[in-house]
Amino acid sequence: MGLKRALTLKAASLVVVLLFVLLLTTIIIGATGISDKILNGMVQDNLRAIRQELAREIRNPEDLERALEKIKEDLIRSYGLDKPWYVRMPDMIWRIVTLDLGNSRTVVSFSGSNKISDIILERLPNTVLLMITVLIINFALSLMIGVRVATKPGSFLDRLISMYSAVSYALPTWWLGILMILVFAFYLKIFPFGGMYSTPPPVDPLVRSLDLVWHLCLPVLTLVIATSGSWIYITRSIVITTAQEDFVSIARAKGLSERIVLWRYIIRPAAPPILTNLILSLAAYLGGAILTETIFSWPGMGLLYFEAIMSVDEALILALTYMYTLIYVIARFVLEVLYVIVDPRVRYA
Amino acid sequence: MSKYFIEGLSEFWASKTSKMGLAFLLIIIIISMYTLFTFPLDYGTRYWNNPKYWADNPKIAMPEWINLFVGNKFLEHNILSTSTIQKMYPSGAYYIKTYEIVYDLMADQFPTFITLKFDNVTFFSRPPTIEVLVIRPDNSTINLYKFVVEPPLSTEEPPYSRYVVEPKRIMLSGEPQLSLVLSNFLLDKYNLSIDPKDVAEIGYEKVIFGEPYENGFKPLKGKYVFTTTLYARDVRDQIGTVSIVIGGQVYGLMGTDILGRDLSQGLLFGFPVALLIGIVVSVLTTIIGATLGIVSGYVGGRVDEIIQRVCDVMNNIPQLPILIFLTFIFGGKLWIIVVILVLFGWPSLVIVVRSMVLQAKSSSFIEAAISVGASRWRIMIRHVFPQVAPYILAQMIFFTPSAILAEAALSFLGLGDPSIPTWGQILEYGFRNGAVFLGYWWWVVPPGLMIVFSAITFVFIALGFEPVINPRLRRWR
Amino acid sequence: MSLLDVQKLMLYYKTSRGTLRAVDGVSFSLGKGETLGLVGESGSGKSSTAIAIMRLLPRNVELYDGRILLNGVDISKLSEKDFREKIRWKKISMVPQGAMSSFNPVLKIGFQVAEPLMVHQNMRKPETLKKVRELFKLVGMPPDYVDRYPHELSGGMRQRAAIAMALILNPDIVILDEPTSALDVSIQAQIMNLLKNLKKELGLSMIFITHDIALASDICDKIGVMYAGQIVELSSSENVLLNPRHPYTQKLIASIPRLREEKMPEFIPGAPPDLVSPPSGCRFHPRCPYSDGMKCVKEEPEMIEVEDDHFVKCWLHSGGSK
């Protein structure tokens, strides 16, 4: 019961976030007239398709124009272009939610469609792949190194980690990516400059996946170097704090082995605050991923952002902003559920 | 409290990181001041984004100091000018005036390009003809270029001035007739028959500044005398300045980009901009965040509830996508970027300040002040604020690097303010022009280093502040 | 022969300012069924003595020395592994200071109480939980609390669970480190009653650590008064309370607030000594009204037996000329 309530509350607050972003973006594009531009573009697209179809049936050019004029009026009405932007806002929001944002003017999906939903859905897995890989590596690293460092606070390694985390706070992920390309791709030639597969992509599934891993190395390395410092440092601090708790000395007094003490009495109770930290760093992490994709031409949504900005594609940027918020909200929720699982205090509160 | 704060400050002084941070900050401030005093405020539009201003510079040239590290020295960029008339004599209907420029080729490298430049040509009757030739170290002569100054319009009155606002530039490498001249020269001098088309392929610079060697050309070191001859109809006709640009492979302290822009200037200009963005954003964010945090924590009730809800939502928005969206829609003006960064920065501070205020509020000291009947605002300003002030200050310093980094990220995505050069924009331009893939490290590494340097300055200062705001840490060090 | 005999126990810590002498030559003995109170101000080395006996040494230990005889065997010479497997919790268990933080917040109470059974006696979980339920009844807890998490228990209940946990392996000695200081007064009384009952019923031997000499006298047979890492007076509870010999003990007793008495409780002037650079001679001399300014400052007094089973570490009683 308490569990459900806690999760429902979290979900509700995240939905509010999503709604807020939707409202903010639609009001802005409405008030600045950009929504008119997007909808007009959609009307034109539709009209072009209809014109080709009708041209086959109606031979007389004048009739054709007249018929098209009527269809155009219908279209304008159905898209709500005859009404002011604030009247059609609910409709607009629905359109964004369903990713029905018409076509991109410039970007085409790998399969050749220029429908925004096609483009985004095609890129989504690539972004998720990159982010999850980095997430797992960071998590493992912070546990392995953070816990080890925590047993020797003040040691050389410990100070090194503190320094590293301070420096990495000031280090832009994307610039680090540039350095990595210069060093590992340009000078050392061990990794590719970017992309996801070699051209042409290998056909054999095994070689193909190895090729993918090879291409994944540099972007993952970049993100890990840029973000792991603070993860390790925070894990270390949390573990040090937890190790000072009374229940840890009691566990030792109980004659438990160091291994049990470490896992059951230090790492396990440290999990919730570590997870909280993960939740808080998620947004920064998402931002880092957008820029890293751009640097490494990783064909995900982050690169798409860059392409959309370069070709001034308003509809695409709007859709991406929504998608990123959605990914963020979903990731947040998954982490919140995890949090509830690892921390009994929330479960019964 | 004041004793505590002073004690904290001495603690701050004692820390090595904070001293380093302050030293760095001093460097940044000095460089920013220097830049502000020597560069015009409209530097971005007037010079940086004006390709003509950089026309004489070599493109994508490495920094000069690279020669300290390489055995085979790269050729330095050279602009040679003269305004003195070497010789002057009448010859038939003409008055001949000559201008001489001597260039000493010392490096084992060919110049990358040659540009002739003429400023301020004045004539009184018919347009004069200008001819440029070079006498090489081996005493052979090549006629490089010849042209007639544009004739006067019917509305013009003598004296007629040409190339005043903008000098006449002749990129020799782009002159087709020169290939014929050079082809003939090679035939005469070395008995080498090379088709004019192939001469263009080899590069004029190699023929002018070199001699055939094995299958190619090698630089011919020594003095080259460039002689410009003015064939004037009037004795008063003259050229203001004759210049020859010998395109180098290295340029200046930081090299150049693809437009020939001197990167050291762009990097310098980045300092005051980064400092401005960092400080303005962090100060504004802190003022808003701290005020709302104090109000929220101190007043409580409905006001607190509303502020907390808003913060909760704002804090849960993924920042970069929204920043991208807003700057994209509202345009890349620096002040808009600043406003947007402030708009999405304050909520995180509110929560921290609020919890500190709640703590301070429950202290017996403040309870006593309330029971004595001090007014709300008085307590807030006289008692609550001084208690949370050091935290707020530390938060403000900690916010500065994130503002600098956020602007850099937006600039890198091409959303920066084009009228003001920033490090992020230099990086973006470099990245878009393939600097990373072609190995133009001097274009992309220094601006990133500057970003890291300025951000880490504030991180260091903030770290030095940690023991001040966290007495427990202080005791344990 | 006494059950526990602690001789010249020392525990020094390394700190940035120098060596901190937390426990500096503490000796005492504890008989079977006896309760010894260790009383002193915070920072007097009471808890460090407990830590030293349990060998729960932090990383910055500089010196750990002395003999700890349990039934005549010097357990301080045991290897780390033997000590962990044979002594900890089996022979000596403890109830920690903070009732709030003595349990891992993410594990169920029942599991944490039963854990020593699983580790030391290889019992299966269901069996152990049965035992825990019985124990819970003994300490006055509802048996179904085994399935609760620590945060679901009140402070008093949590302390009862901590006591149950300390008793789970039937240890010879239980060290109670300020077991009631974090509790409300009424709950405090309940816990004290529980401890007294357990003492009577189980014949438990206890080391009771507290800053409250009145509380100690309520349950302890013997009291050792600690000051600056040393025991300065050690005798039966009656002796210490009614006939204190050490000036510090006298001050400590005078500071107890009393009902039905005109006299205001006194406080002890001065601050507890810095254990990194403790005062020379008798460590109490800077705060002592009887300090002669000579011997007390220069030489450290020996622990002497001023009357039968009443030991004092003070020049006033060491034949010093006063």
The string of DSSP letters for A87-104 reads TSHHHHHHHHHTT---B-
User: A229 and A160 in one domain?
Assistant: yes
Rg over alpha carbons for chain C, rounded to the nearest Å, is: 20
Other C-beta atoms closer than 10 Å to the C-beta of C41 total: 17
Chain A residue numbers with beta carbons less than 8 Å from the beta carbon of B415 are 309
Structure tokens at A21: 């972003």
Mark whether A186 and A84 lie in a shared domain. Answer: no
Examine the domain organization and report whether A158 and A224 are in the same domain: yes
d(CA C180, CA A32): 67
SS3 of A166-185: the string is: HHHHCCCHHHHHHHHHHHHH
**Predicted local confidence at residue A7, as pLDDT:** 83
Cα gap A105→A318, rounded to integer Å? 13
How high is the pLDDT of residue A2? Answer: 66
CA distance C56 to chain A (A): 7
- C266 and C251 in contact (C-beta within 8 Å)? yes
Share of chain C above pLDDT 70, in %: 96
Residue type, C161: A
φ, ψ of residue C109 in degrees (nearest 5): -55, -50
For A32, nearest residue in chain B (alpha carbons) = B329
Mean pLDDT along residues A132-140:
91
Tokens found for residue B281: 């954003």
| pLDDT the model gives residue B118 | 93
Residue C128 · residue C114 · CB < 8 Å: yes
For residues A170-177, average pLDDT: 92
3-state secondary structure of B107: coil
Q: Is the pTM of this model over 0.90?
A: no
Q: How confident is the model at residue B3 (pLDDT cuts 50, 70, 90)?
A: low
Chains adjacent to C (≥3 CB pairs closer than 8 angstroms): A
- Residue B318 to chain A, least CA–CA distance (Å): 5
How many CB atoms are closer than 10 A to CB B67?
17
Flag whether A146 is in a domain.
Answer: yes
Whether residue A267 sits in one domain with residue A183: yes
Chains in contact with A, counting 3 or more C-beta pairs less than 8 Å apart as contact = B, C
Alpha helices in chain C (DSSP H): 46-54, 80-82, 109-121, 125-138, 155-167, 185-202, 213-219, 237-242, 247-254, 295-298
> For residue range C165-190, what is the model confidence (pLDDT) as tens digits?
999 999 999 999 888 887 888 888 89
pLDDT at B471 over 70: no
Tokens representing residue B447 in the block: 């601006």
To which residue do tokens 């507890």 refer? C272
What phi, psi does A77 have (nearest 5°)?
-70, -40
Asked if C316 contacts C249 with a C-beta cutoff of 8 angstroms, the reply is: no
Confidence (pLDDT) at B4: 57
CB C298 within 8 A of CB C284: no
Q: What is the pLDDT of residue B427?
A: 94
| Average of per-residue pLDDT values in chain C | 87
A272 lies in some domain: yes
**C-beta of residue A305 within 8 angstroms of C-beta of residue A290:** yes
How much is the pLDDT for B452? 95
Residue, of C115 and C42, whose pLDDT is higher: C115
Residue B1 has pLDDT above 50, yes or no: no
- Residue in A174, A178, A282 nearest the CB of B409: A174
Taking a contact as any Cβ pair under 8 Å apart, which residues of chain A between 182 and 221 contact chain B?
182, 185-187, 193
Phi, psi angle pair for B41, to nearest 5°: -65, -30
CA distance C267 to chain A (A): 31
Helices A314-342 and A268-295 cross at an angle (nearest 10°) of 160
Please name the residues in contact with C221: beta carbons below 8 A apart, sequence gap of 6 or more. C34, C35, C36, C236, C237
Would you say the ipTM is above 0.90? Answer: no
Structure token pair of residue B144: 């490089």
Pairing of strands C35-39, C205-210: parallel
Q: How many interchain CB pairs under 8 A, A with B? A: 136
Distance, in Å, from the CA atom of C31 to the CA atom of B315, rounded to the nearest integer, reads 62
User: Quick check: A17 contacting B, CB < 8 Å?
Assistant: yes
A175, part of any domain: yes
A330 touches chain B (CB under 8 A): no
Q: Which residues of A touch C105 (CB under 8 A)?
A: 247, 269, 343-345
Q: How confident is the model at residue B367 (pLDDT cuts 50, 70, 90)?
A: confident
Residue A283 confidence (pLDDT) above 80: no
For B370, half-sphere exposure in the C-beta direction (CA atoms, 13 angstrom radius) is 12
Q: Do B455 and A169 touch (CB under 8 A)?
A: yes
Q: How far is B461 from chain A (nearest CA, A)?
A: 11
The answer to whether C120 contacts chain A (CB < 8 Å) is yes
Report d(CA C56, CA C276) in Å as an integer.
Answer: 21
Tell me the average pLDDT across B19-36.
Answer: 94
Give the residue range(s) of CATH 1.10.3720.10 domains in chain B. 3-51+262-473
Residues A257 and A210 placed together within one structural domain of the fold: yes
Residues A210 and A301 reside in one and the same domain = yes
In chain A, which residues have their Cβ closer than 8 Å to the Cβ of C103? 247, 250
Does the pLDDT value for residue B348 go beyond 90?
A: no
CATH, residue A295: 1.10.3720.10
Q: Containing domain of residue A17, as a range?
A: 3-97
Residue A276, in any domain of the structure = yes
pLDDT of residue B477: 27
Asked whether the predicted pLDDT for residue B370 surpasses 80, the reply is: no
DSSP 8-state class, residue C84:
I
Peptide bond before A200: cis, by omega within 30 degrees of 0? yes
pLDDT at C59: 81
Angle, helices B441-469/B263-299, rounded to nearest 10 degrees: 30
Please report residues of A whose CB lies closer than 8 A to that of B329.
Answer: 28-29, 32, 34, 314
Please tell me the predicted confidence (pLDDT) of residue B469.
61
HEC readout, C22-90: EEEEEEEEECCCCEEEEECCCCCCHHHHHHHHHCCCCCCEEEEEEEEEECCEEHHHCCHHHHHHHHECC
Of A67-76, A220-229, B345-354, which one has max mean pLDDT? Answer: A220-229
Residue B312 in this model has a pLDDT that exceeds 60: yes
pLDDT confidence of residue A162: 85
Answer yes or no: is pLDDT of A348 > 70. Answer: no
**How close, in Å, is residue B319 to chain A by CA atoms?**
7
Taking 80 as the threshold, does the pLDDT of residue B281 lie above it? yes
Q: Is the pLDDT of residue B365 over 80?
A: no
* CB burial of residue C48 (10 Å; 0-12, 13-18, 19+): buried
Q: Minimal Cα–Cα distance from A245 to chain C, Å?
A: 7
- Could you tell me if residue A106 is inside a domain? no
d(CA B257, CA B360): 55
B476 has pLDDT over 60: no
DSSP C186-224: HHHHHHHHHHHHHHHHH--EEEEEES-HHHHHHH-SEEE
What CA–CA distance (Å, rounded) separates B465 from B472? 13
Mark whether A200 and A314 lie in a shared domain.
Answer: yes
Q: What percent of chain A has pLDDT over 90?
A: 24
B313 has a chain A CB within 8 A of its CB: yes
**Does C36 have pLDDT greater than 90?**
yes
Higher-confidence residue of C23 and B316: namely C23
Residue with structure tokens 């020797």?
Answer: A152
Q: What is the DSSP letter of B48?
A: I
Residues C162 and A193: their CA atoms lie apart, in Å, by: 60
End of a domain among A97, A124, A154? A97
Cα dihedral sign, B328-B333-B336-B342: positive
CATH 2.60.120 domain residues, chain B: 78-246
- DSSP sequence for B313-326: HHHTS-HHHHHHHH
Reported as type and span, the H/E element at residue B465 is helix B441-469
The predicted-structure confidence for C283-322, as pLDDT tens digits, reads as follows 888 888 888 778 888 888 888 888 888 999 988 887 644 3
Could you tell me if residue A324 is inside a domain?
yes
d(CA C247, CA C287): 9
Question: Of C106, C101, C108, nearest to C129 (Cα)?
Answer: C108
Rg of chain B over all Cα atoms, to the nearest angstrom = 32
Asked if residue A260 lies in contact with residue A251, where contact means CB atoms within 8 angstroms, the answer is: yes
Q: Answer yes or no: do A268 and C104 touch at CB < 8 A.
A: yes
Q: Nearest Cβ partner of A246 from C102, C107, C152?
A: C102
DSSP alpha helices (H): ranges in chain A? 2-31, 34-57, 61-78, 89-97, 116-151, 156-169, 173-180, 205-243, 246-253, 258-260, 268-295, 301-310, 314-342, 344-347
pLDDT at residue B313 above 90? no
**What is the per-residue pLDDT for C297?**
86
Residue C215 sits at the vertex; the CA angle it makes with C213 and C218, to the nearest 5 degrees, is 110
Q: Where are the strands (E) in B237-306, listed by range?
A: 238-246
Shared-domain flag, residues A248 and A299 = yes
Task: Say how far apart CA A249 and CA C103 lie, in whole Å.
Answer: 10
Q: Which residue of B has its CA nearest to A312?
A: B328
pLDDT score recorded for residue B472: 42
Q: Which residue has the higher pLDDT, B474 or B13?
A: B13
Q: Are residues A63 and A120 in the same domain?
A: no
Please name the residue of chain A whose CA is at the shortest distance from the CA of residue C54: A253
B211-222: average pLDDT = 89
pLDDT in tens, A227-277: 888 889 889 989 988 888 889 989 999 989 989 999 999 999 998 888 888
C-alpha–C-alpha distance, residues B349 and B399, integer Å: 9
Q: Do A76 and A205 share a domain, yes or no?
A: no
Total domains in chain A come to 2
Which CATH number applies to B3-51+262-473?
1.10.3720.10
Say if residue A127 is in the same domain as residue A89: no
C241 within 8 A of C253, measured Cβ to Cβ: yes
Please name the residue that has the structure tokens 């009155």: B157
**Residue range A23-57, pLDDT digits in tens:** 888 888 888 888 888 888 888 888 888 888 877 77
Residue A137 and residue A92 share a domain: no
Does residue A186 contact residue A153 with C-beta atoms inside 8 Å?
Answer: no
State how far residue A1 is from chain C, nearest Cα, in angstroms.
Answer: 16
Round to whole Å and give the CA distance between B207 and B337.
52
Kind and range of the H or E run holding C93: strand C92-95
Among residues C66, C55, C31, which one has the least CA distance to residue C231? Answer: C66
Q: What is the pLDDT of residues C108-132, one digit of tens each?
A: 999 999 999 998 888 888 889 999 9
Query: Is residue B223 over pLDDT 80?
Result: yes
Domain B78-246 in CATH 2.60.120? The answer is yes
Residue A347 lies in a domain: no
Residues from chain A contacting residue C54 (CB–CB below 8 Å): 253
The pLDDT assigned to A297 comes to: 92
Query: Could you tell me if residue A103 is inside a domain?
Result: no
Residues 6+ apart with CB under 8 A from B338: B277, B280, B281, B284
pLDDT for B178-188, tens place per residue? 889 999 999 98
N-terminal to C-terminal alpha carbon distance within chain A: 10
User: For A192-219, what is the mean pLDDT?
Assistant: 91
What letter represents residue B346's amino acid? W
Please tell me the distance from the alpha carbon of residue B220 to that of residue B40, in angstroms, as a whole number.
42
Interface test with C, best of A155, A239, A246, A346 (most C CBs within 10 A): A246
Residue A257, token pair as written in the block: 């082995």
Q: Best residue in C16, C83, C106 to probe A by mutation, most A CBs within 10 Å?
A: C106
pLDDT at A278 over 70: yes
